[in-house]
Amino acid sequence: MSMDRTFFHLDTHDSHLDSDAFPLPSANSSQDRNPTYSLASRTSQSPTISKSMTSSAAAIVDKPGTPLAGAKHIVLLHGPNLNLLGTREPERYGTETLDDVVNRAKAQAESLGIKLDALQSNHEGVLIDRIHQARFEGADAIILNAGAWTHTSVAIRDALLAADVPFLEVHITNVHAREPFRHHSYLSDKATGVIAGLGTYGYVAAVDFAARYMKPKPKTAV
C-alpha cells in the first residue's frame, strides 16, 4: 500500500483501543485535554491501536510468522528541551525520562527485527545534519519530535524535504489543545503521519507503524 504523505491519526477514544493495555482517562478527567499516559509497567503488552487512512480503518495487529514489509532502519530524533523529560512539567509530559522513551522505542524496534538509531539535540544545525545523514546512510524512516522547532523551523522542514526520507511527526501532548501558536506545524503537511496526545506511547505506535507500512525504497546499485 502506498503511504506517500498520507495523513493518519490514532484516536485515543476509538473503540478498537485495548483499554486494559492502554488505560484511558475518564470523561471528567483533565487528562482528556492533554493525556500523558505512563506505560512503564506495561511494556510487555502490545495494545491494538486503530488507524484511519482516508475513509477506511484497520487495526494494527501482530500476525506471528508474517514478515513485516515496512522500514528496516529508523532514525528517532528529538529537538530542544526534550532532554529534560521526566523533570520538565511532569504534569504535562509525564515522569519518564528521554532514556526511558528511547529505550522503549529501541525495544519495540528490536522486537520487530529492525534497527533504530536515536539522537536528541538542542542545536538546530545538529538535528539538520542528522537528517541529512539519514539519507546518505539509507535510513527508511525518520520519527521526529522536533519540539518547539515544529512551529518555527523552515530549516528543518527543508532538510526533511532534501533528505527525502519518509517521516512521522510525534508529539507527547495534544498540541491542538494547547496554546494557539502550537497549532501550526511546518512539518505536518509533508509527514507520512502525525501522532499527538498519546503520551510517550506515541513513539511505540510510530515504530510499529513504520515497521509495517513505511516500505523501504529500492536500493540503487553502485
**Binding residue ranges for substrate:** 145, 151, 158, 172-173, 182
**What residues form the annotated binding site?**
145, 151, 158, 172-173, 182
Give me Rg for the CA atoms of the chain. Answer: 17
Dihedral, CA of residue 23, residue 25, residue 31 and residue 32, to nearest 10: 110
Longest alpha-carbon distance in the chain: 59
Marked catalytic residue, from 93, 186, 201, 203: 93
Residue 94's CB is within 10 A of a number of other CB atoms, namely 23
Is 183 marked active-site?
no
Q: Are 144 and 202 in contact (CB under 8 A)?
A: no
- Can 93 be counted among the known catalytic residues? yes
206, amino acid identity: A
User: Could you say which of 73, 171, 201, 213 is catalytic?
Assistant: 171
Q: Say how far apart CA 46 and CA 28 lie, in whole Å.
A: 26
Alpha carbon distance 37, 15 (integer Å): 18
DSSP secondary structure string for all residues of 58-113: EE----TTPPP-S-SEEEEEE-TTGGGTTTSSHHHH-S--HHHHHHHHHHHHHHTT
Helix axes 201-213, 98-111, angle to 10 degrees: 30
Q: Any idea which residues carry the catalytic annotation?
A: 93, 171
